[in-house]
Amino acid sequence: MPLDRQKKQRSCCSCIFSLGLLALSLWLLFNISRPTCSIEEFNVFALTKTAPSRRNNSIHYDLKLKNRNFNKGIYYDALNLTFYYKPNLVNVVPIGNANFTPFYQGYGKGTHRVGDIETGGVKWDDTTTVVFRVELATSLRYKYPLWKTKRRRLVVGADLKVNDEGSLVKAKDNKGIKLSSNAMKNEMKRFQVLGMLGILIFFHSW
């Protein structure tokens, strides 16, 4: 192979490698990963079998927030948590809410927000598994070395299953329950279920 041709091939490969490295660097710089939000603990004391705990109407929770970005910090606006009790597919009963002040989270860092809510007057179903729901709403700004992004809305939620001991039924490997972006749809799902029931009743009567 002629020497000039070999040089051209090496130069071409070097150029392709440099462009690929540049593209990867730009992707790593501008790609943004949303924080991972999960419920690590959710203890409903009124559902335990011991008499002292059954008289306790509070629910203890542990929210974990993890910044998955390796080169971007996150500024959180106030965190708004809303908790629901779901006795069935149709009814969703609000049982409490919590608010946490704005804060900054460095890249690769994790933090917890822990609290208790009071649920006096709520009658739980006497079943082996009770279903709750938590929804988180906030706004985020990502911090680059020289600038910050505009605010981005974050709304996530998840259903939480609690066993007959009042403890959270966790995912595999004893991991917490991850909050996903299908939150704030309780009312929509409720109307969808009611609408389907109405259609079935209409056609049945017809």
When pLDDT is averaged across residues 22-44 and rounded to a whole number, the result is: 74
* Res 117: pLDDT: 93
Is 58 in contact with 117 (CB distance < 8 Å)? yes
Q: Do the beta carbons of residue 93 and residue 122 sit within 8 Å?
A: yes
Give the residue-averaged pLDDT of 169-176. 91
CA 106 to chain centre: 19
Put residue 134 in one of left, alpha, beta given phi > 0 → left and psi -120 to 50 → alpha.
beta
Backbone angles phi, psi at 159, to 5 degrees: -80, 145
The CATH code for residues 34-205 is 2.60.40.10
At residue 158 the predicted structure's pLDDT band, cuts being 50, 70 and 90, is very high
Q: What is the mean pLDDT of residues 137-145?
A: 93
**Partner residues linked to 157 by β-bridges:** 135, 180
Please provide the average confidence, as pLDDT, over all residues in the chain: 80
| Residue 186 exposure: Cα atoms within 13 Å on the Cβ side | 22
pLDDT, position 126: 67
Judge whether residue 202 has pLDDT over 70: no
Query: Could you tell me the CA-to-CA distances from 87 to 61, 91, 100, 116, 132 in Å, in that order?
Result: 20, 6, 28, 21, 8
- pLDDT of amino acid 2: 61
pTM of the shown model:
0.74
What pLDDT shows up at residue 156? Answer: 97
Quick: pLDDT tens for 98-113. 999 999 999 889 999 9
Q: pLDDT band for 55, please (50, 70, 90 cuts).
A: low
What are the domain boundaries of the chain? 1-31, 34-205
What is the C-alpha separation between 68 and 26, in angstroms, rounded?
17
The answer to whether the CB of 178 falls within 8 A of the CB of 158 is: yes
Q: How many CA atoms lie within 13 A of 99 on its CB side?
A: 4
Structure-token match 């392709």, residue found: 16
Q: State residue 201's pLDDT score.
A: 45
Lowest mean pLDDT among 42-46, 154-158, 197-201: 197-201
